[in-house]
Structure 1
Amino acid sequence: MKKFGLAAAAVIAGVVLLANLGPMVGLAVSVAILYYVAKKFMKAETKGMKILWGVLGLIMMAASISNAPAIIGVAAAFVLYLIYKNWNKAKKTEMDNDPFVNFEREWAKLK
């Protein structure tokens, strides 16, 4: 039953990830351009160039903010990673946590 729940969650997270793939790419591109614009703004020497880079920076910041739903896609990718990591994880029983059972197992290894 656990595998069914994990599979259902993986399907839902995959659909959410695919639905937000466009905004994720848009966010990555706009943030990269915004970084480049900020570097150019700092290096600009004249006021006219600073104003130009500042206006372009504001436009790119608006584009980045408009792609904010991409954070949901990143969360879905993280959920998919957790599901992949926990897919074949064995269940620990209470016997594995019992210190006396572990002591007996270790004692048998020493002999």
Structure 2
Amino acid sequence: MRKFVLFVGGLVALLVLLANLGPMVLLAVSGWLLYVVFKKFVKSDSTAAKVGWVIIGLIVLSIVFSNIYAVIGVAAAYALYWIYQNWNKDDSDPVVDVMDSDDPFTNFERQWAEINN
């Protein structure tokens, strides 16, 4: 049952990721452009150039904010990574019975499991 739920969750996350792939690429490109505009703004000497870079930066920033839904795609990518990491994880405890005896042979499995964890 656990693997079925992980499979369905992975399938949904994959579909969401594929649906948001375009906005994710555009968000990354516009973030890079915003960085380039900032670097050009810092290097410019004249006031007119700085005003021009601020206007271009605001235009690029509006593109960044219009693609903010790409964060959903990033969350879907993280969900896929989490599902991949937890696919073969075993939730069961290796020792089911815990004996309250002082006999070392009856508690050996429990102690061995505690050492390994």
Which category of TM-score, normalised to the shorter sequence, fits these structures?
0.7 to 0.9
| 4+ aligned runs moved over 6 Å, structure 1 | none
Letter matched to residue 50 of structure 1: K
Structure with greater Cα Rg? 2
Unaligned runs of 5+ in 2: 100-106
Counterparts of 1:57 and 1:91 in 2: how far apart (Å)?
50
| Structure 2 partner of 1:77 | 77
More helix per residue = 1
In 2, Cα distance between equivalents of 1:94 and 1:61 = 54
Code of the aligned partner of 1:37: V
The TM-score normalised by the length of structure 1 is 0.86
Identical aligned residues as a percent? 47
Q: Deviation of residue 90 (structure 1)?
A: 1.5
Segments of structure 1 that go 5 or more residues without pairing to the other structure are: 107-111
Aligned length: 104
Q: TM-score, normalised by structure 2?
A: 0.82
Q: Deviations over 1:51-84 (max 9, x none)?
A: 1111000000000000000000000000000000
Match runs of 1:1-111 below 5 Å: 1-93=1-93, 95=95, 100=107, 101-103=109-111, 105=112
Q: For the aligned residues, what is the CA RMSD?
A: 1.8
